[in-house]
Structure 1
Protein backbone atom coordinates (compact mmCIF):
# COMPACT_ATOMS: atom_id res chain seq x y z
CA UNK A 1 0.00 0.00 0.00
CA UNK A 2 2.81 2.42 0.87
CA UNK A 3 4.58 1.85 -2.46
CA UNK A 4 1.34 2.51 -4.32
CA UNK A 5 0.85 5.85 -2.54
CA UNK A 6 4.44 6.77 -3.35
CA UNK A 7 3.95 5.92 -7.02
CA UNK A 8 0.65 7.82 -7.19
CA UNK A 9 2.23 10.93 -5.69
CA UNK A 10 5.25 10.59 -7.98
CA UNK A 11 3.09 10.08 -11.09
CA UNK A 12 0.81 12.99 -10.20
CA UNK A 13 3.65 15.44 -9.55
CA UNK A 14 5.59 14.31 -12.64
CA UNK A 15 2.50 14.70 -14.85
CA UNK A 16 1.83 18.13 -13.37
CA UNK A 17 5.44 19.28 -13.84
CA UNK A 18 5.75 17.89 -17.36
CA UNK A 19 2.71 19.90 -18.46
CA UNK A 20 4.24 23.23 -17.48
CA UNK A 21 6.00 25.70 -19.79
CA UNK A 22 9.28 25.20 -17.94
CA UNK A 23 9.35 21.51 -18.90
CA UNK A 24 8.68 22.38 -22.53
CA UNK A 25 11.42 25.03 -22.49
CA UNK A 26 13.88 22.54 -20.98
CA UNK A 27 13.04 20.05 -23.72
CA UNK A 28 13.56 22.71 -26.40
CA UNK A 29 16.89 23.72 -24.83
CA UNK A 30 17.98 20.08 -24.70
CA UNK A 31 17.20 19.63 -28.39
CA UNK A 32 18.96 22.91 -29.22
CA UNK A 33 22.06 21.81 -27.27
CA UNK A 34 22.00 18.48 -29.07
CA UNK A 35 21.73 20.19 -32.46
CA UNK A 36 24.52 22.63 -31.64
CA UNK A 37 26.75 19.77 -30.52
CA UNK A 38 26.25 17.99 -33.85
CA UNK A 39 29.26 19.53 -35.60
CA UNK A 40 31.45 18.80 -32.56
CA UNK A 41 30.67 15.11 -32.93
CA UNK A 42 30.64 15.12 -36.71
CA UNK A 43 26.91 14.29 -36.76
CA UNK A 44 27.96 10.71 -35.97
CA UNK A 45 25.71 7.74 -35.46
CA UNK A 46 26.50 7.85 -31.74
CA UNK A 47 25.44 11.51 -31.61
CA UNK A 48 22.09 10.56 -33.19
CA UNK A 49 21.74 7.48 -31.01
CA UNK A 50 22.06 9.55 -27.83
CA UNK A 51 19.01 11.71 -28.59
CA UNK A 52 16.99 8.81 -30.00
CA UNK A 53 17.66 6.65 -26.94
CA UNK A 54 16.99 9.47 -24.46
CA UNK A 55 13.72 10.51 -26.05
CA UNK A 56 12.53 6.92 -26.36
CA UNK A 57 13.22 6.16 -22.70
CA UNK A 58 11.60 9.38 -21.50
CA UNK A 59 8.55 8.84 -23.70
CA UNK A 60 8.19 5.22 -22.59
CA UNK A 61 8.27 6.13 -18.90
CA UNK A 62 6.01 9.17 -19.30
CA UNK A 63 3.30 7.07 -20.92
CA UNK A 64 2.93 5.05 -17.72
CA UNK A 65 3.10 8.04 -15.40
CA UNK A 66 0.57 10.07 -17.33
CA UNK A 67 -1.73 7.06 -17.79
CA UNK A 68 -1.71 6.49 -14.02
CA UNK A 69 -2.73 10.11 -13.42
CA UNK A 70 -5.36 9.93 -16.16
CA UNK A 71 -6.86 6.75 -14.70
CA UNK A 72 -7.20 8.31 -11.25
CA UNK A 73 -8.72 11.50 -12.66
CA UNK A 74 -11.22 9.51 -14.73
CA UNK A 75 -12.23 7.39 -11.75
CA UNK A 76 -12.73 10.49 -9.60
CA UNK A 77 -14.93 12.07 -12.28
CA UNK A 78 -16.99 8.88 -12.58
CA UNK A 79 -17.53 8.74 -8.81
CA UNK A 80 -18.61 12.40 -8.79
CA UNK A 81 -21.02 11.78 -11.67
CA UNK A 82 -22.41 8.72 -9.90
CA UNK A 83 -23.01 10.81 -6.79
CA UNK A 84 -24.83 13.47 -8.82
CA UNK A 85 -27.07 10.80 -10.37
CA UNK A 86 -27.69 9.19 -6.99
CA UNK A 87 -28.54 12.51 -5.31
CA UNK A 88 -30.77 13.88 -8.09
CA UNK A 89 -34.47 13.26 -7.57
CA UNK A 90 -35.92 11.51 -10.60
CA UNK A 91 -32.56 10.38 -11.95
CA UNK A 92 -32.22 6.76 -12.94
CA UNK A 93 -29.90 4.87 -10.62
CA UNK A 94 -29.43 2.29 -13.38
CA UNK A 95 -27.09 4.86 -14.94
CA UNK A 96 -24.68 4.54 -12.03
CA UNK A 97 -21.37 2.85 -12.86
CA UNK A 98 -22.05 2.71 -16.62
CA UNK A 99 -18.34 2.68 -17.39
CA UNK A 100 -18.22 -0.93 -16.18
CA UNK A 101 -20.73 -2.16 -18.79
CA UNK A 102 -19.80 -3.89 -22.02
CA UNK A 103 -19.89 -1.85 -25.19
CA UNK A 104 -23.12 -3.40 -26.52
CA UNK A 105 -24.87 -2.56 -23.23
CA UNK A 106 -23.63 1.03 -23.41
CA UNK A 107 -24.88 1.21 -27.00
CA UNK A 108 -28.41 0.32 -25.84
CA UNK A 109 -28.35 3.17 -23.30
CA UNK A 110 -26.89 5.57 -25.87
CA UNK A 111 -29.61 4.69 -28.39
CA UNK A 112 -32.33 5.41 -25.82
CA UNK A 113 -30.82 8.78 -25.01
CA UNK A 114 -30.35 9.62 -28.68
CA UNK A 115 -34.06 8.94 -29.23
CA UNK A 116 -34.96 11.14 -26.25
CA UNK A 117 -32.74 13.92 -27.64
CA UNK A 118 -34.41 13.69 -31.07
CA UNK A 119 -37.84 13.88 -29.43
CA UNK A 120 -36.78 16.88 -27.32
CA UNK A 121 -35.45 18.70 -30.39
CA UNK A 122 -38.69 18.01 -32.23
CA UNK A 123 -40.64 19.35 -29.26
CA UNK A 124 -38.53 22.53 -29.23
CA UNK A 125 -39.07 22.99 -32.98
CA UNK A 126 -42.83 22.70 -32.38
CA UNK A 127 -42.64 25.38 -29.69
CA UNK A 128 -43.04 22.93 -26.83
CA UNK A 129 -40.88 22.48 -23.73
CA UNK A 130 -38.08 19.95 -23.92
CA UNK A 131 -38.12 19.24 -20.18
CA UNK A 132 -40.70 18.39 -17.59
CA UNK A 133 -39.45 21.35 -15.56
CA UNK A 134 -41.27 24.66 -16.08
CA UNK A 135 -39.23 27.62 -17.26
CA UNK A 136 -38.61 30.31 -14.64
CA UNK A 137 -40.59 33.48 -15.21
CA UNK A 138 -39.84 37.08 -14.39
CA UNK A 139 -42.95 37.41 -12.19
CA UNK A 140 -41.76 34.56 -9.94
CA UNK A 141 -44.59 32.28 -10.95
Structure 2
Protein backbone atom coordinates (compact mmCIF):
# COMPACT_ATOMS: atom_id res chain seq x y z
CA UNK A 1 0.00 0.00 0.00
CA UNK A 2 1.47 3.33 -1.04
CA UNK A 3 1.83 6.24 1.32
CA UNK A 4 -1.03 8.15 -0.31
CA UNK A 5 -3.31 5.08 -0.19
CA UNK A 6 -2.44 4.56 3.48
CA UNK A 7 -3.08 8.24 4.21
CA UNK A 8 -6.42 8.11 2.38
CA UNK A 9 -7.42 4.97 4.30
CA UNK A 10 -6.39 6.60 7.58
CA UNK A 11 -8.50 9.69 6.86
CA UNK A 12 -11.54 7.62 5.82
CA UNK A 13 -11.16 5.26 8.78
CA UNK A 14 -10.80 8.12 11.24
CA UNK A 15 -13.83 9.91 9.77
CA UNK A 16 -15.94 6.71 9.82
CA UNK A 17 -14.92 5.85 13.38
CA UNK A 18 -15.75 9.37 14.50
CA UNK A 19 -19.14 9.36 12.73
CA UNK A 20 -20.19 5.96 14.05
CA UNK A 21 -19.52 7.16 17.58
CA UNK A 22 -22.05 9.98 17.31
CA UNK A 23 -25.60 9.84 18.70
CA UNK A 24 -27.20 9.99 15.25
CA UNK A 25 -25.43 6.75 14.27
CA UNK A 26 -26.97 4.95 17.24
CA UNK A 27 -30.40 6.41 16.44
CA UNK A 28 -30.06 5.29 12.81
CA UNK A 29 -29.12 1.77 13.92
CA UNK A 30 -32.01 1.68 16.39
CA UNK A 31 -34.48 2.89 13.74
CA UNK A 32 -33.21 0.22 11.34
CA UNK A 33 -33.90 -2.49 13.92
CA UNK A 34 -37.34 -1.02 14.72
CA UNK A 35 -38.30 -0.87 11.02
CA UNK A 36 -37.05 -4.41 10.55
CA UNK A 37 -39.05 -5.65 13.55
CA UNK A 38 -42.23 -3.81 12.50
CA UNK A 39 -42.04 -5.28 8.99
CA UNK A 40 -41.84 -8.81 10.37
CA UNK A 41 -45.60 -9.47 10.07
CA UNK A 42 -45.61 -8.06 6.52
CA UNK A 43 -43.09 -10.70 5.49
CA UNK A 44 -44.64 -13.42 7.66
CA UNK A 45 -41.46 -13.62 9.72
CA UNK A 46 -39.83 -15.32 6.73
CA UNK A 47 -36.29 -16.60 6.48
CA UNK A 48 -35.53 -13.88 3.93
CA UNK A 49 -36.78 -11.22 6.36
CA UNK A 50 -34.46 -12.62 9.06
CA UNK A 51 -31.59 -12.92 6.58
CA UNK A 52 -31.77 -9.19 5.83
CA UNK A 53 -30.95 -8.12 9.40
CA UNK A 54 -28.50 -10.97 9.97
CA UNK A 55 -26.52 -10.21 6.82
CA UNK A 56 -26.57 -6.45 7.35
CA UNK A 57 -25.43 -6.59 10.96
CA UNK A 58 -22.76 -9.18 10.18
CA UNK A 59 -21.24 -7.07 7.41
CA UNK A 60 -21.33 -3.91 9.50
CA UNK A 61 -19.78 -5.69 12.49
CA UNK A 62 -17.05 -7.19 10.30
CA UNK A 63 -16.10 -3.79 8.87
CA UNK A 64 -16.33 -2.01 12.23
CA UNK A 65 -13.77 -4.38 13.74
CA UNK A 66 -11.15 -3.01 11.36
CA UNK A 67 -12.19 0.61 11.86
CA UNK A 68 -12.10 0.25 15.64
CA UNK A 69 -8.73 -1.53 15.55
CA UNK A 70 -7.25 1.17 13.32
CA UNK A 71 -8.53 3.92 15.62
CA UNK A 72 -7.25 2.09 18.70
CA UNK A 73 -3.80 1.54 17.15
CA UNK A 74 -3.56 5.21 16.20
CA UNK A 75 -4.64 6.38 19.66
CA UNK A 76 -2.21 3.99 21.37
CA UNK A 77 0.68 5.25 19.24
CA UNK A 78 -0.21 8.86 20.04
CA UNK A 79 -0.42 8.09 23.76
CA UNK A 80 3.01 6.41 23.68
CA UNK A 81 4.54 9.43 21.94
CA UNK A 82 3.03 11.74 24.56
CA UNK A 83 4.18 9.54 27.45
CA UNK A 84 7.67 9.29 25.96
CA UNK A 85 7.83 13.09 25.76
CA UNK A 86 6.70 13.41 29.38
CA UNK A 87 9.36 10.93 30.47
CA UNK A 88 12.00 12.75 28.43
CA UNK A 89 11.03 16.18 29.78
CA UNK A 90 10.57 15.20 33.44
CA UNK A 91 13.60 15.74 35.61
CA UNK A 92 14.49 12.57 37.49
CA UNK A 93 12.48 10.30 35.19
CA UNK A 94 14.15 7.16 33.86
CA UNK A 95 14.77 7.79 30.15
CA UNK A 96 15.28 4.07 29.61
CA UNK A 97 11.48 3.77 29.91
CA UNK A 98 11.05 5.66 26.64
CA UNK A 99 9.71 3.28 23.95
CA UNK A 100 9.31 0.53 26.54
CA UNK A 101 6.37 -0.79 24.51
CA UNK A 102 8.87 -2.03 21.91
CA UNK A 103 10.74 -4.23 24.39
CA UNK A 104 10.37 -7.98 24.87
CA UNK A 105 8.03 -9.48 27.46
CA UNK A 106 11.03 -10.32 29.66
CA UNK A 107 12.34 -6.75 29.52
CA UNK A 108 8.87 -5.41 30.33
CA UNK A 109 8.62 -7.75 33.33
CA UNK A 110 12.06 -6.66 34.54
CA UNK A 111 11.15 -2.96 34.24
CA UNK A 112 7.81 -3.56 35.99
CA UNK A 113 9.57 -5.35 38.88
CA UNK A 114 12.18 -2.59 39.18
CA UNK A 115 9.47 0.09 39.33
CA UNK A 116 7.55 -1.96 41.89
CA UNK A 117 10.64 -2.02 44.12
CA UNK A 118 11.10 1.73 43.69
CA UNK A 119 7.43 2.27 44.63
CA UNK A 120 7.82 0.06 47.72
CA UNK A 121 10.86 2.08 48.84
CA UNK A 122 8.91 5.30 48.32
CA UNK A 123 6.01 3.89 50.36
CA UNK A 124 8.40 2.91 53.16
CA UNK A 125 9.95 6.39 53.16
CA UNK A 126 6.49 7.99 53.30
CA UNK A 127 5.43 5.78 56.21
CA UNK A 128 8.66 6.57 58.06
CA UNK A 129 8.10 10.31 57.60
CA UNK A 130 4.52 9.97 58.87
CA UNK A 131 5.70 8.09 61.97
CA UNK A 132 8.38 10.70 62.60
CA UNK A 133 5.83 13.52 62.25
CA UNK A 134 3.42 11.82 64.67
CA UNK A 135 6.23 11.12 67.12
CA UNK A 136 7.37 14.72 66.96
CA UNK A 137 3.86 16.02 67.68
CA UNK A 138 3.32 13.76 70.71
CA UNK A 139 6.57 14.68 72.40
CA UNK A 140 7.20 18.39 72.02
CA UNK A 141 10.76 19.57 72.30
CA UNK A 142 11.82 20.62 75.84
Normalization by structure 1: what TM-score?
A: 0.85
Structure 1 or 2, whichever has the larger Rg, is 2
Q: How does 1:94-133 map to 2 (within 5 A)?
A: 94-127=96-129
> How far is 1:48 from its partner?
0.9
Task: Give the unaligned 5+ runs of structure 2.
Answer: 131-142
- Find runs of 4+ consecutive structure 1 residues off by over 6 angstroms: none
**Structure with a larger share of its residues in helix:** 2
Which has the higher mean CA deviation after the structures are superposed, 8-17 or 86-95? 86-95
TM-score by length of 2: 0.84
- The unaligned stretches of length 5 or more in structure 1 are 129-141
Aligned residues: 128
SS in 1 for 2:129: coil
Structure 2 counterpart of 1:136: none
Shift of residue 65, structure 1, vs aligned partner: 1.1
Q: Which among 68, 78, 95 is matched to residue 66 of structure 1?
A: 68
Give, in angstroms, the shift of residue 38 of structure 1: 0.6
The aligned counterpart of 1:10 is: 12
SS class of match (1:91): coil
Stretch deviating more after TM superposition (71-80 or 119-128)? 119-128
Q: Quick one: which of 42, 54, 57 aligns to 1:55?
A: 57
The RMSD of aligned alpha carbons is: 1.2
Query: 2:45 and 2:128 mapped to 1: Cα distance?
Result: 70
Q: Superposition pairs for residues 88-99 of structure 1, below 5 Å? A: 88-99=90-101
